[in-house]
Amino acid sequence: MTTNNVTNGSFPDVTFKSGTFKNSTLLVLNISPELEEDLVDYLLGLEGVEGFTSYQVYGHGEHGRLSLREQVTGRRRRMQYEIMLPEEGVAALLQGLAEDVGTDVVYWQHPLTNFGRLN
15 within a domain of the structure (yes/no): no
DSSP state letters, 35-67: GHHHHHHHHHT-TT----EEEEEEE---GGGS-
Closest CA to 85 of 31, 41, 19: 19
Tally of domains in the chain? 1
8 within a domain of the structure (yes/no): no
60 within a domain of the structure (yes/no): yes
CATH number at 106 reads 3.30.70.120
2 within a domain of the structure (yes/no): no
- The secondary structure element, H or E, covering residue 4 is none
pLDDT at 22: 62
Residue-level pLDDT, tens digit, the chain, 119 residues: 333 333 333 333 444 444 455 678 999 999 999 999 999 999 999 887 878 999 999 888 776 676 777 777 777 889 999 999 888 889 999 999 999 999 989 999 999 887 777 87
Its domain, for residue 47, covers: 20-113
- CB-CB contact of 7 with 114 (8 Å): no
Residues in the chain, total: 119
79 within a domain of the structure (yes/no): yes
